[in-house]
Every structure is written in structure tokens, then in C-alpha cells.
Amino acid sequence: MIKFDPSFPILWLIVFVIFLTAILGAQMVFTFKSKITKQQKIIRGAIYGFIYLSLLGFIFQPTWQTELTSEPVLVYSDDVTSEELKYLRDSLDLRKSLSIEKYSGEGNPVYLVGSRFSDVELNLLSGKEIQLLSNRSSVGLEFIIWKGFVRQGELQKIIGKTGSDSAASVILKAGELIIAEDSIHAGQRNFELQFTSEIIGRNEFELVLNNESLGQVRFFSSPSSPKSYDLRFSYPGPESRFLGQFLAGKSEYVKENIQISRSSEIRSVSKDLDSVRIIIADVDQLKSKKTLNDFENTAMAAFLIDSYEPKKEAADLNKLYQTDFEVQKISEEESRVLESGLEALPFQFVPKAGQKLLMENAVAIQNVGGKKIGMSLINQSFPMYLSGDTLTYQLIWSEILGELYPDEDENWKMDAPVFEGLSSILTFNSRNNTDEFTLIGGDTLFFHQDIINPFSQFTQVTLSDSGWINLSDTLEIPVYGEKEFGDVSARMRLANFLKNQSMKAETVLPNAVEVRVSDWVWLVLFLIGFGVLWFEPRIR
């Protein structure tokens, strides 16, 4: 992009331009009124134009930026092995490599490998063309995320990725008690831990990879609103009985109705129900007028289990509850086995917009008018309960019921881990919220209205202190120091730096220099112009 850097004040610049334009105009008029030939008039007009443009160029002094050619350089942090550096130098044919401690801004482009860079060190890379390389020698934790805030009984998921391709074991524990675990097979790096939050308030668990502690997983759990379950079935069965026992054991409100005939039913109530919130039933009960009326007036969700004709039942739900479920057969076997060990019908749900699919597409849940309708293709889950694997049984039903739960009237959302000095997104959802700011640690945070969700607000927050930070009287944010989950923190800082680099306006090229036309060039142009002007009438 060409810019101009005149040596004269703007007023004098305007005077010179007007003066030169007037002289050019007068010379053009005089030339075209003279008695010379038409060809001579064109030649002389071109000479005047050349001199005029040369004078304007000298006055305005055009400049532009150009990138200096320089030798590329490999810059690395202290977590990169010498074998990995040799491999990268050979594969990229790079002659120069420097550790970040010895780097002083030379070279372009910069091939960057590793993650342990401080903010001061990253600033040395400002304005450079950066090529980020993968560090194959990394063996630590590359990525991890979980929910910073949960409700009691809500399913918590920890998703992470290690830097090693070797087989590994990941364990989450409290003292010697194992809360959740996962195995990473050779060649795979991802892991996922699931468990339900039972402790109200601060939660802190140790994350262990191959008997080596990676750090403490912290989150805050708030009390959940009481849930009500209405189990409705056309005949007694072990699936509904054990599910009722499981829910009652969690101190939930449970009501069981077994419609053994048109005129009689069996009822079992663990606690009095003020209102029906979630209905779990077979297809016949979901099609009954009573259930349809209760769902319309009092219930917030309905869930179909004990399916045996999934295509027909999906069509019935679509007609009665305005859903859009679609199932397709994927096997000629009588059933299919899920990763959890459960057996499901040889069908799966077809993914649709607005639907949440769980358990390898064996469970589908759809939001209809603020209420949720779900359907399960799982045959039976109670054998897992009877076998003593109550933890897996609890995880399965906690995940399903968690998707069926109506949203709380007010809730906060924030991904963890949150590191001091790094920005994070804090979201507040409320149907009655009118405040546009909140206070955290004496700082005022202003919220922005979500464009899509009118009940959601968000803000970007950067916390300067580590530890548990009060968000409200009943909620705290766990903030990590820079050295906790150090590899993850370093990668996030590097990602933020690269993001900010890409968002900057490209007004300056990487390793660029400003170039202008030399005064000697202008002198040569003037001599050529006036010389041709002097010489032209002498060769007629």
C-alpha cells in the first residue's frame, strides 16, 4: 500500500499543487494553439505531463513497505528434546535454531516449537511471521477442560489430551478413593472422565497419569432444585423398579404408577409430589390422555423407555408431542452392544437439528416449546445395577437425566481451568436478570447481551489472583496459578498471543522496512524531462 510523506505543510502543499497545475494548464493551452503539427503537440504535451508528474511525486514523496528477505529461524522452548530439534532442522532444511532465552528478534519467518514461553519472551515475536510446529517429544498434558460450575447431582466431564502416543491410565481420585478412570490405548491421546457431583461447595480432586500427579481438578457445586419423577408403566418390570429405587436413593421425589388394567393401578410414592416435573414411561402411557394432559400442564420433560417397535413409537411421539425423531436400522442382529456394556435395539437415531444424541445415538432428546421429550433404544439397564456396577449405572442415568432437567432459573457457566492473567468467558443465564454488571474481587464486570439467547449475558474476565475467588455469596471461581497445569497454561498463553497477532491490523508487514524514492531518482527524472523539452524543438 502506497502512502505519502510530503516535506511541506499542507497549506504550502496545496499552493504548490495549484501553482503547478496552473502552469501545466497554461503550457497546454499555449502548445495546442500554436502552429506546430498535431504530432508535435502530442509529444510536447506528453513532455509537460511527465515533468508535472515528476514534480508532484517529488513534492508528495510516496512511500511503501517491503519485507526484508532474511534467513528463517527455529525458536524452541526448554520442553523440546535435542532429538526433536535435529529432526525439525533436517526436515525443514533450517540452518539456524535458537532457544527462546537466546532469541533477540532476528530471522523471519520464525518456526516456533514448544509451549513454555513467558509473556515477555512472546513479545519478542511481535510482527514476525510465525509458523507453529507440533512438538512430538511432548509427554505432558496438552489440553484439558471441565465445567467450573455444576449443580449437585449433575454429570461432570473432564476431557483432555496427552502429548504421548503410548498407552496410559488416567485416574481422578480423592485421597485413595478413585472417583473416575479411563484408559488411553497406544496411538490415542484423548481421555474422558465422567462422574456425578455429590458434594456441595468446593470440590477438589487429584488427576493422575500413570501414577504421576498432573494437578488438582477444582470446581464449585451448587445445590440443585428438587426434582420430581413420575414413573408410569403398563406392567410391572425390573427396569422401572430399579430405576425408582435408584432415584429414591438419591433423595429424589419419586412416584410410580403401574396400570395393570383399565380400572386398577399400583401406586408407590417415596415422597409427596407437589407437581410432576419429569415423566418416565413406556409408549402406551405416553400416549394416554392423562400423560398428555400432565405434560402440557405440569411436567417439564417426558422420556420413553422399554421401546420394542422404535420406528412406530418414534412416529407416535412425533405426532403427539411435535417431535422430529427418526430411527434407522443398522444391524440384522437382535441387539447391539454399546461401549458402556449396555445392550440396545439394532437401531440408531438419525441426527437432527435441535436434538441431543447420547449413548452412541441410542438416546435422543429434543426441546419442544421449552419442554424436553426423549426416547431410548436401550433394552435394559438394570442388569448392570444388579451386577454391582452401580457407578456405571449412575453415570448412564445421570447423563440422560441431566439432559432432561429443565434449566435452573439462574445459573453461571465458565469453562475450567481458569488461569490468572488469562481471559475467560463468564456467562450468566437468568429469566429475571436486569443487572448489567457484577463485582468480582472489587472489580466491576459489565455484561453483554447474547444476540441469540435473550436470557443470557456474557463477559470476558481476567483474574489477577489465584485461589478461590468469590463470584457471589453462594458461588466461587477456582483460579489456577501459572505453574499449575503448567503445560496447559503455557499453551493457552501461546494460543492467546497468536490469536492477538492475527487480529492486529496488518499495517506493518513482518520484518518490514519503509521504502521511498531516492532524491537522485527525482533529479534524473527532472534532467530527463527538461532535457527532452529543450531538445525537442531542435530536432524538428
Domain span at 77: 67-138
The predicted pLDDT at position 137 comes to 66
With respect to residue 297, please indicate whether it lies within any of the assigned structural domains. yes
Residue range 135-146: mean pLDDT, rounded: 80
Residues 453, 465 within the same domain: yes
What is the domain count for the chain? 4
pLDDT tens, residue by residue, 506-531: 444 555 556 778 888 888 888 888 88
Residues 255, 386 within the same domain: yes
CATH number of the structural domain spanning residue 157: 2.60.40.1930
The predicted pLDDT at position 188 comes to 84
The answer to whether residue 268 scores a pLDDT higher than 60 is no
With respect to residue 10, please indicate whether it lies within any of the assigned structural domains. yes
The proportion of the chain whose per-residue pLDDT surpasses 90, expressed as a percent, equals 24
With respect to residue 38, please indicate whether it lies within any of the assigned structural domains. yes
Residues 456, 357 within the same domain: no
Amino acid at 368: V
Residues 146, 131 within the same domain: no
Residues 186, 217 within the same domain: yes
How far from the centroid of its chain's Cα atoms is residue 416's Cα?
12
Residue range 384-389: mean pLDDT, rounded: 85
Using 50, 70 and 90 to split pLDDT, how confident is the model at 415? very high
Q: Return the C-alpha cell found at 433.
A: 436478570
The predicted pLDDT at position 263 comes to 45
**Arithmetic mean of pLDDT over the chain:** 83
Residues 24, 75 within the same domain: no
Per the CB < 8 A criterion, the answer to whether 112 and 130 are in contact is yes
The answer to whether residue 330 scores a pLDDT higher than 80 is yes
Q: What are phi and psi of 95, to 5 degrees?
A: -95, -20
CATH number of the structural domain spanning residue 94: 3.40.50
The answer to whether residue 54 scores a pLDDT higher than 60 is yes
Pairing label, strands 73-76, 437-440: unpaired
The answer to whether residue 292 scores a pLDDT higher than 50 is yes
The closest alpha carbon to 172, from 158, 154, 188, belongs to 158
With respect to residue 237, please indicate whether it lies within any of the assigned structural domains. yes
Q: What is the dihedral of CA 438, 444, 450, 453, to 10 degrees?
A: 0
Place of cell 513534492: 59
> Rounded to whole angstroms, how far apart are CA atoms 460 and 448?
9
DSSP output for 191-237: EEEEEE--SSEEEEEEEEETTEEEEEEEEEEEPPPP-EEEEEESS--
Residues 106, 233 within the same domain: no
With respect to residue 354, please indicate whether it lies within any of the assigned structural domains. yes
Q: Return the C-alpha cell found at 42.
A: 502530442
The answer to whether residue 532 scores a pLDDT higher than 90 is no
- Domain termination residue (choose one: 115, 138, 161): 138
The closest alpha carbon to 239, from 158, 176, 300, 304, belongs to 304
In the chain, DSSP finds a helix count (H) and a strand count (E) of 12, 38
102 backbone φψ class: left, alpha, beta (φ>0; ψ -120 to 50): alpha
pTM, two decimal places: 0.66
The answer to whether residue 504 scores a pLDDT higher than 70 is no
With respect to residue 429, please indicate whether it lies within any of the assigned structural domains. yes
3-class state of residue 344 by DSSP: strand
Q: Return the C-alpha cell found at 156.
A: 461432570
Residues 268, 119 within the same domain: no
- Spell out where 305-409 has E strands: 327-329, 336-337, 343-344, 347-349, 355-358, 363-368, 371-376, 378-380
With respect to residue 79, please indicate whether it lies within any of the assigned structural domains. yes
With respect to residue 501, please indicate whether it lies within any of the assigned structural domains. no
Most confident of 157-166, 322-331, 336-345, 382-391: 322-331
Residue range 498-510: mean pLDDT, rounded: 59
The predicted pLDDT at position 76 comes to 86
Residues 94, 170 within the same domain: no
- Domain termination residue (choose one: 361, 383, 404): 404
- Domain termination residue (choose one: 92, 114, 138): 138
Residues 34, 11 within the same domain: yes
Residues 348, 205 within the same domain: no
Residues 423, 369 within the same domain: no
Using 50, 70 and 90 to split pLDDT, how confident is the model at 205? very high
Residue range 428-452: mean pLDDT, rounded: 68
